[in-house]
Chains A and B, each alone.
Chain A
């Protein structure tokens, strides 16, 4: 099957404006007759639901949290990029586009990324107008800071809580539509199946998490905005509830899964400290603006950081990458930390950490300036570790943070299943093999505020005569039956091991064999090990309680069942991609100095996987990436 990305023709800088002038519209009277379901209420979901509601569509929005405001976008710390060029430092739409394509190691689409850079400026305007309290200068104008992988200051921020403030902005827009009755909001509801009728997405099955009730909801289009699947690794910086179930069910109903192996391992997280650990905490990348990363020059150095003199320290990022220094992209910073630790020079009790040191910045600017920039992050670090980063260097180590892969979508953000869309992190579209800092918030809001509201008309203009979609069709019956069967099956295993037991086991396999460095042997083993975990899970998982009540163990079981299947696909994707690019580092493919070695002749494509049935390997489809404007080069940050 040939995948059509539907990138408009014409010069790169004019594609989006030309598209907008020619895309089909739905007139206001007809919009009222069209129902849209939005799953997830993070930046992408809330902005999508609010904007579609404003346009006059009838929207139903669902989230599993008890409030739309608690979606995991809330936890994003550092900032949001926009090509405003307020600093007069040479930024432009093209440069943001170029940095993003290059940062993604040339595995994303030019057309999508340029559009993202174009609308980035509108996002800042929108958020400011909503009352988002971005950081300001004494002039009263907006402040910026720089982030990894770029040489301009284009990141807007709200202390270390940018995601929170942007989400509360989108949440307020959503609430306004709830009041206007254009959006109906369902909290504590989790999507457990998608309904396809005559090849089109026509609704979803959701589970009310308080009562266990299984409900049917129909619509003319279904938008998935359910975030990333990093929790497949068990330990990640994701919230505990983040899951792949919505997109995995969509995948099993025909939606192709794009580049599943592209995972971002974030370089600055608080290191793992014990067996009971439930999640990892990110320390914002913005800290690398002022913090210097180092380890001792000698192996097994057990001295306190203060006792290691300057000349015996290895500021390895500054040494290896003099032009970007501590601000290299995330994939490179993570791998360099892993190398230092593998070399026996890691610090802390476990030796699986490196220092992030603010002593020089505090000396230069004073503690009050550092506190103003990062105060809440320093406090958080202190609370978790019991150490004061004003006095002693932070210890950090890479952790799973973001997934660039996701459902394959075309330029309209529609999956290959007509009427089913994916926005934000749950699609694969804009970040290639590595996402740059402060770009996730940008993409989530771009998709929801400024892209989907335009592109969805292209499909929905063909739905104005369809009429109300009924929930008593054979497709709905079948979907609900499958959901009930899966839940019954899980409840009836009555085995001996908890859901977390299997989740941890899966996570360990994924981290060891499909993590920061991968190779063919490890991946082949991982696929077999995951198959074993799957069969054990379905024979021996233990879920207390019943399905007709608030039952967190059942919720987790439904999610973990999907993570197990996804894990296998991630390993297959990683195994087939015989090159290193961005966050996908195959140890067989590296340059003599240990950098990722791409193979553009063979792998300059999006790997989109088609589900072929239970226990069958997925089939690979390729969307060739066409580069008309940028020249593919070996990425260098030296």
Chain B
């Protein structure tokens, strides 16, 4: 198939950037979107041009590295699919495809389609863990956990930290990402001793990093490649209010 690509090109953080248009004449419909990008880059190298920089690694939908907005949608048109798992059979011959980086205040562009998502790291470092040192764990089956709770905790833990929720949100909010991590621990007994500090610290860093507020549009859930539910945002709000109240009581 033939494609016209409009790709965001930006030399570095301080460059203003803009779209460039490229033609691809022989794209295999079985190729993945990133393999199509590889073909584009081979063509650019051939033409003595600079290939397009983009983040990618596992190419099986789990590492969370790939981060492109395709035709206006983070990770493209398919539900529950990362860019690397999107295949060209979902596009039409002759189509024009627009490719941009994830855009948000808290995700500055480093080059072309590569963005800096270390703001997510700092949120996790603020409290996204259970303080259990190596070697101090009790026997695993001493902590029975209701299967339903455990399954729900898993659903939240399935987040791959790609940032599509932020890119999809008109406010650039990270509530789904933070909600998922807070929920995982709130649903499990292991997370309970630190639940108040965790949610307060993570939300504080989230705000410092310049992520926007949540106005309940649900765009994050709609674009999440792992279909993380907005119920996690509700749980985040509940945890936050409950933590605030219990801190006040003290």
Contact = CB atoms under 8 A, between A and B. Distances in A.
Contact of A136 (B30, B145, B184): B145
A125 B138 contact: yes
Given A142-B140, A187-B118, A126 B65 contact: no
B51 A54 contact: no
A74 B135 CA distance: 23
B53 A552 contact: yes
A179 B125 contact: yes
Contact of B184 (A133, A164, A179): A133
A638 B125 CA distance: 51
Nearest to B38: A278
A168 interface: yes
Q: Which of A75, A130, A386 has the most CB of B within 10 A?
A: A130
A365 interface: no
A380 B60 contact: yes
10 contacts: A70-B57, A74-B64, A75-B62, A126-B132, A140-B145, A165-B154, A168-B157, A172-B124, A178-B125, A383-B85
Contact of B35 (A129, A277, A380, A450): A277
B59 A498 contact: no
A2 interface: no
A531 to B, nearest CB: 25
Interface stretch (B109-117, B167-175, B229-237, B240-248): B109-117
B11 to A, nearest CB: 8
A140 B87 contact: no
B63 A453 contact: no
A274 B28 contact: yes
A601 B125 CA distance: 54
A137 B131 CA distance: 26
A158 B55 CA distance: 27
Interface string A440-451: 000000000110
Contacts of A84: 140
Contact of B190 (A128, A140, A161, A453): A128
A124 to B, nearest CB: 5
A544 B134 contact: no
A164 B58 CA distance: 12
A465 interface: no
Interface in A539-590: 542, 544-545, 549-550, 552-553
A86 interface: yes
B177 interface: no
Nearest to A550: B111
A74 B38 contact: no
Interface in A64-84: 65-70, 72, 74-75, 84
A240 interface: yes
Interface string A367-387: 000000000000110011010
Q: Which of A70, A133, A179 has the most CB of B within 10 A?
A: A133
B198 to A, nearest CB: 11
A544 B49 contact: yes
A86 B140 CA distance: 11
B6 interface: no
B238 interface: no
Interface of A: 47, 50-51, 54, 65-70, 72, 74-75, 84, 86, 122, 124-131, 133-142, 158-159, 161, 164-165, 168, 171-173, 175-176, 178-179, 185, 187, 210, 239-241, 273-274, 276-279, 281-282, 379-380, 383-384, 386, 449-450, 453, 498, 500, 542, 544-545, 549-550, 552-553
Contacts of A66: 55, 65, 116-118
Interface in B25-45: 28, 30-32, 34-36, 38-39, 42, 44-45
B215 interface: no
Given A66-B55, A210-B110, A239-B57, A176 B134 contact: no
B48 interface: yes
Contact of B128 (A134, A175, A187, A384): A175
A66 B111 CA distance: 13
A70 B154 contact: no
Q: Which of A178, A279, A282 has the most CB of B within 10 A?
A: A279
Contact of A383 (B46, B87, B125, B157): B87
Contacts of A161: 62, 158
Q: Which of B44, B60, B185 has the most CB of A within 10 A?
A: B60
B250 interface: no
Given A141-B144, A142-B140, A165 B157 contact: yes
B16 interface: no
Closest 9 A/B residue pairs (Cβ): A140-B144, A172-B129, A129-B137, A133-B154, A125-B137, A128-B140, A239-B57, A51-B134, A70-B63
A376 to B, nearest CB: 9
A142 B59 CA distance: 30
B53 A550 contact: yes
Contact of B147 (A65, A138, A173): A138
B154 A159 contact: yes
A122 B135 contact: yes
A210 B13 CA distance: 10
Contacts of A282: 60
Contacts of A134: 150
A597 to B, nearest CB: 36
Contacts of B21: none
Contacts of B141: 86, 141-142
Contact of B38 (A67, A139, A386, A500): A500
A136 B187 CA distance: 14
B35 A276 contact: yes
B188 interface: yes
B59 A549 contact: no
Nearest to B88: A276
B12 interface: yes
Contacts of B144: 139-141
Contacts of B131: 176
